[in-house]
């Protein structure tokens, strides 16, 4: 599918409140056939989704330790997770330390997922992912570990206010770029 047709289809699913603020952009190199074009997502005329752009305000992680040391990441710890660690340690660890251990385990898992999703995004072809989004259901795109599918689903008009408000806890465990687009969508209500 050509870029213009794909862009038109993606824009037809765009939330009405974001029309005019949100835009899909692409560059291509006419005389360099071996050089792939780049795709961006711009909000208010500023390129937001572009990993190689140093001026972006979105945090792109380079290592697992950066994620673990990021104070902006809030990890909700459930009582079941605390109980699992209590059983693993046979009840020998103080209660306050259990919470630290549970948070550490969850942060390690999250760090691996975020770095994996980030590396997949940097290698992905925007047009392939956009076509995949158009073929999948909105629920599959929201639940996906793929950052781009999450973003495209969050700005989709088929995702209503109630669903957006109910996903607040799950979004905390997603990449900062997904959180950015979640906050953008929240601002439209």
- From first to last of its 189 residues, the chain has per-residue pLDDT tens of 777 888 889 899 999 999 989 888 776 555 555 555 566 788 888 877 765 444 445 566 667 777 777 777 777 788 888 888 888 888 788 888 888 888 888 888 877 777 776 665 554 567 778 888 999 999 999 988 888 889 899 999 999 999 999 998 888 888 888 888 999 999 888
Find out whether 146 and 120 touch, Cβ atoms under 8 Å: yes
Tokens 């050089």 found at: 35
How many other CB atoms are there within 10 angstroms of residue 135's CB atom? Answer: 9
- pTM score > 0.75 for this model? no
């Amino acid at each position: 599918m050509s870029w213009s047709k794909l862009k038109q289809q993606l824009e037809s699913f765009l939330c009405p409140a974001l029309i005019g603020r949100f835009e899909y952009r692409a560059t291509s190199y006419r005389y360099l056939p071996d050089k792939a074009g780049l795709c961006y997502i711009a909000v208010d005329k500023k390129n937001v989704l572009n990993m190689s752009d140093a001026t972006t305000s979105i945090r792109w992680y380079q290592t697992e330790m950066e994620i673990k040391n990021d104070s902006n990441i809030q990890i909700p710890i459930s009582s079941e997770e605390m109980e699992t660690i209590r059983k693993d340690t046979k009840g020998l660890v103080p209660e306050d330390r259990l919470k630290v251990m549970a948070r550490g385990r969850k942060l390690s898992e999250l760090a691996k997922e975020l770095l994996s999703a980030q590396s997949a995004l940097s290698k992905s072809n925007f047009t392939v992912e956009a076509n995949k989004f158009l073929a999948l259901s909105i629920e599959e795109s929201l639940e996906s570990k793929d950052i781009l599918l999450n973003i495209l689903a969050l700005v989709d008009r088929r995702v209503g206010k109630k669903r957006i408000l109910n996903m607040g806890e799950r979004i905390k465990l997603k990449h900062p770029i997904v959180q950015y687009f979640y906050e953008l969508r929240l601002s439209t209500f």
